[in-house]
Structure 1
Amino acid sequence: MPARSLRQRLILGAGLWLALALGVGGVVLGLAFRDAAEHGFHERLDAYLRALSAVVEINADGSVAVGKPVGDPRFEQAYSGWYWQVSDGAEVRARSRSLWDFALPVGGPVAAGQMHARRDTGPRGESLAVVERDLLFPDGIRPLHLSVAANRREVEAEVARFDLLLALALGGLGLGLIIAIALQVGYGLRPLARLTGELEEVRVSGGRIGEAYPGEVAPLVLAMNQVLDHDARLIERARAHVGNLAHGLKTPLAVLEAELASPSPDHGVLGDQLDRLNRLVDIHLGRARAEAVSAEPARAKVAVGEVANDIAAALRKIYAERGLSLSVDCAPGARFPGNGDDLAEILGNLMDNACKWASSQVRITADTVSLTVEDDGPGLTPAQAETATRRGLRLDESAPGSGLGLAIVADLAGMMGLDVRFGRSDLGGLCVRVAFPAARLPPT
């Protein structure tokens, strides 16, 4: 199943939060309006109850009379939904014309001066909100129970209308905000769409990506351009290597062709040219390895001592007839920032070169920031050391006596971001120090 696009993710996420916010807001507003409508409804009933209390009178014969209408014409319309009633607990003493011959149920006694609200059923089975109080006259035998009731349909209809309007308003607002979010997301992601187009153009025509991008996208564009530049450099170097190799092979191949075509080939010349061909292949394979290393991801660090001891053991056998002394002194925390193959290629070339030129002694040391290979051979002059530190040299440009290994190490270390220094050892010969990344060696 394909992953959702960023546009879908952003719009869906914003839509969910918006729906939640509007839903919660709608519920809160609806409850607040219902509470306000209920409160206003009961306030009107209380007002009518107080008005009824003001106009109720007891005649001399003990009958109850209501001096004037309570104040709402609906009390005069039969079964209008608005009712009032006066009773003494035993019988109804007076009632509104809207009740006709129906008597409202009488609630329990109410404390003097207090009002009580409850719900009941009206003459047509409707739900009524009832407020009531007890009224005691000075010459009365028992208190009069006054009730005012109204159909709750009115307040329910008012709340329903508000809920409908609120739902329509919030729905319209939510729809408008979703459209605005979609437009905003589209506008915000426009640089990515432009970046996609530029990447396609780079794929077809080459080149780099333009740098006029927002700050959030600029680091990505910078990283892509660095990758493109790196790839371009690798391609250019590969072309240069191929060109150099082809140029270097022409002469020995021509000599071989000429010698083989002669009646009596000179085997010495053939051997020299084959040796030259092997040397050319070795140097270019080393540089190709260096190019590959620069494109590889970072790896776990490798213990320098283990690799150095393995190489030293092999070199002792190779140079056993010369009686060379190979000493390895690596700190336990000396670790190379790469894989074992990279370290073996660097150390192998340096140690082999040292063994070739040493008189009797080769020393390998390493700590947490660098590794050093020294010998007691003739070493390099300052000019030769300066030449050896230049990266990307062809074999035929290397200083005499430096060997293939130093050129390969210089290229490989350069690709890996290592700092290589050539100098004079206290043993009398060459000293090569390779500093790990973030470490800087003092001048030698």
Structure 2
Amino acid sequence: MRARSLSLRVALIAAGGSALALIVAGAVFIYQFSTAVERNFDARLETLLLTLITATSAEGEVDENAVEGRSGGTFSRPLSGWYWQVREADTGRALDWSESLRFDILPVRDLPTETEPARTFTIQASGGRQLRALEQLVTLGESRTFALLVAGDTEPMTEDVRAFRNSVIRVLGGLAVLFALGTALLVRWGLTPLRGVRDDLNKIREGEIGHLEGRYPREIEPLVHDLNALLNSNREIIERARTHVGNLAHALKTPLAVLQNETRGASEPLAAKVGEQVAIMRDQVEHHLNRARMAAQANVIGAVTPVAPIVGGLARVMGKVHQERHLDIQTHVAAELRFRGEKHDLEEMAGNLFDNACKWAASRVRVSAGRREIGRRPFLTIGFEDDGPGLPAEGREEALSRGARLDESKPGSGLGLSIVAELARIYGGSLSLEDSELGGLAARLTLPAPGD
């Protein structure tokens, strides 16, 4: 799974490093402890073997009182876990053994060799017990050699190691929890400046501030400076584009207006043809200038426009324009709805659609707006509905094309819906034509909305 979150990535790295360190430390602690316990056990076996050697006579008999006195009585209690026995080195026959063995002897078949006169090994005793034994060849007197063996039960040693391992696991587990909490706090505290940058960027998108403000750590100061420079550059580019579009509009519209005025009073065929072409040129110039202006404005960072005042103002204007028709104009727009874009663009899009609905309405026009999520992004949907004749489904795509006029009896150039659709696309939204519940046509305008 990819860690797309920086906090998660840092936390996973810290948690993985801490877990690895704790596991290695725990393994080392347990190994060192078990090695030390085993070393101490072997040291005691060596001490007891020396005691047994000094208490053994040349005939292989053991002075048990001497052994018991130096061992603390561990060999006199039956099944105490500590045992000794003496065997002949030639035949392996047991000559003597400790009282803790009672009437049994240890199940050892082989004997130490001359190349390895002393050995440490494990004996499987009765009852499933494991004994760790130390056996050595010892020559007593002039010629007799004996195999002297001492053994101890490893269960207490194993229990000590197991108890220590459980303690280590509990302690290191507690440390792991503390490390996890500490890592979470450190990550949250350490990434606070980045969350501040994110919050300020959201405020810039909402139009609340114009630049990243405040003091930031040295590590992200270059990022903050670059972002502010990018914001300034974006605004400068947009202002230059607006200026150039305005200059171009004046440079083209004035000569076209002169040509149109010159041909208006003339009756020659050439003048009529020139006037017709000038009108087409004006429509084309207006379309492309609007498109250039829209492209310059659509990506303005921080532009946010309330929707309700725009729709309310347009409703009053449309009521006056179509006053003689006595249209029932209804608006249902929540006060908190906002459009992430320029006010002028929203006025142009909503005005075109509002005017279109009023032109075709028989008696009723309804405008409603709402907010919804599309692909985890917030969008604003404004619907313009009328109770007019509507539009067949096969003609709706043509109605959105540039210059299309499905009814020449209505005034207009046919550019309104195409401009609205194109401007909506530039903002990342859309315009769709549907059937209205009122019986006519419903134009649905979808535009980006600011985040909460």
Output the TM-score relative to the length of structure 2: 0.53
Give the distance between the partners of 1:226 and 1:48, measured in 2 at CA.
84
Give the aligned residue type for 2:4: R
Q: Structure 1 151/257 Cα, relative in aligned 2: closer, same or farther at 3 Å?
A: same
Question: Does the residue aligned with 2:75 lie in a helix, a strand or coil?
Answer: helix
- Aligned residue in 2 for 1:22: 22
Question: Does the residue aligned with 2:63 lie in a helix, a strand or coil?
Answer: strand
Question: Does the residue aligned with 2:123 lie in a helix, a strand or coil?
Answer: strand
* 2:218 is aligned with 1:215: yes
Question: Does the residue aligned with 1:104 lie in a helix, a strand or coil?
Answer: coil
Which residue of 55, 64, 67 maps to 1:66? Answer: 64
Maintained 8 Å contact 1:110/1:133: no
Give the aligned residue type for 2:204: V
Give the distance between the partners of 2:64 and 2:73, measured in 1 at CA.
15
Shift of the alpha carbon at 1:20? Answer: 2.6
Identity value in percent: 36
Shift of the alpha carbon at 1:243? Answer: 4.2
Q: Structure 1 104/157 Cα, relative in aligned 2: closer, same or farther at 3 Å?
A: same
Maintained 8 Å contact 1:128/1:150: yes
Shift of the alpha carbon at 1:190? Answer: 1.2
- Aligned residue in 2 for 1:36: 36
Shift of the alpha carbon at 1:161? Answer: 1.2
Give the aligned residue type for 1:65: D
Give the aligned residue type for 2:78: A
Instruction: State the number of aligned residues.
Output: 277
Shift of the alpha carbon at 1:45? Answer: 0.7
Shift of the alpha carbon at 1:175? Answer: 2.0
Give the aligned residue type for 1:229: N
Maintained 8 Å contact 1:57/1:67: no
Maintained 8 Å contact 2:134/2:151: yes
| Superposition map of 1:298-377 within 5 A | none
Give the distance between the partners of 2:57 and 2:72, measured in 1 at CA.
19
- Aligned residue in 1 for 2:158: 156
* 2:136 is aligned with 1:136: no
Shift of the alpha carbon at 1:23? Answer: 2.1
- Aligned residue in 1 for 2:102: 100
Give the distance between the partners of 2:228 and 2:43, measured in 1 at CA.
74
Unaligned regions of 5+ residues in structure 1, if any? 296-444
* 2:236 is aligned with 1:238: no
Q: Structure 1 22/182 Cα, relative in aligned 2: closer, same or farther at 3 Å?
A: same
Q: Structure 1 100/196 Cα, relative in aligned 2: closer, same or farther at 3 Å?
A: same
- Aligned residue in 2 for 1:442: none
Give the distance between the partners of 2:128 and 2:238, measured in 1 at CA.
92
Give the distance between the partners of 2:94 and 2:156, measured in 1 at CA.
27
Give the distance between the partners of 1:74 and 1:122, measured in 2 at CA.
18
Q: Structure 1 83/76 Cα, relative in aligned 2: closer, same or farther at 3 Å?
A: same
Output the TM-score relative to the length of structure 1: 0.54
Unaligned regions of 5+ residues in structure 2, if any? 300-452
Maintained 8 Å contact 2:33/2:161: yes
Give the distance between the partners of 1:126 and 1:255, measured in 2 at CA.
116
Give the distance between the partners of 2:260 and 2:219, measured in 1 at CA.
62
Maintained 8 Å contact 2:112/2:135: no
Q: Structure 1 229/113 Cα, relative in aligned 2: closer, same or farther at 3 Å?
A: closer
| Superposition map of 1:45-444 within 5 A | 45-58=45-58, 63-68=61-66, 69=68, 70-88=70-88, 89-106=91-108, 107-111=110-114, 114-139=117-142, 141-205=143-207, 207-210=210-213, 212-245=215-248
* Higher Rg: 1
Give the aligned residue type for 1:156: T
Deviations 1:180-226 (A, max 9, x none): 22221112221121111111110111511126222332232222222
Give the distance between the partners of 1:157 and 1:110, measured in 2 at CA.
33
Give the distance between the partners of 1:124 and 1:149, measured in 2 at CA.
16
